[in-house]
Amino acid sequence: MDDHGTRERVRTVRWGDPARILEAARTRSGAELLEELRTGALPAPPIAELLGMRITEVAAGRAVFELEPAEFLYNPLGMVHGGVLATLLDSAMGCALHATLPAGTSYTTLEFQLHFVRPVTMRAGTIRAVGTLVHGGGTLATAEGRIEGGDGTLFAHGTCSMMLLRPRPA
């Protein structure tokens, strides 16, 4: 019990060694790497374990993540914190690009815009963030994404621009 007489909640988070993902990224295409993350052949990134999100679909130019809204993700207003939704959507949009990249090439988000349409609570059930590549250029890429409920309810949508980080010649 806490100081207010309510039952304390506890959450334990475990994760695999993220160095395994970095090592694999040197020799696998983005699509291969993401598929290994999806199937569990590689451990999920620590942020995915922390938030409880998982990649469920990967194709060139498209990535889908799912998350089960839970109380530990709530802000003081009784809904999933907007930063969690931003992380989920940024991951889906970034992985839509990543699924098109050759081995050794990475990216970073330069700009991100997110529009919240309605709050997410546990009543929503599993939510999906669908990221779609809009433009994959030589140094700059753009993507768009949506966070939806299982019944198609729109919770948020956004866009991002990303810079490609290509390996330097030896």
Containing H/E element for 86? helix 82-98
Task: Decide if 12 is inside a domain.
Answer: no
How many other C-beta atoms are found inside a 10 Å radius of the C-beta of residue 119? 17
Query: pLDDT of the chain along its 170 residues, tens only?
Result: 566 677 899 999 999 999 999 999 999 999 999 999 999 999 999 999 999 999 999 999 999 999 999 999 999 999 999 999 999 999 999 999 999 999 999 999 999 999 999 999 999 999 999 999 999 999 999 999 999 999 999 999 999 999 999 877 76
- Note the pTM of the prediction, 2 decimals: 0.93
Q: Output the domain CATH number for residue 160.
A: 3.10.129.10
- Structural domain contains residue 158: yes
Domain range enclosing 148: 21-165
Give the chain's domain count. Answer: 1
11 in a domain, yes or no? no
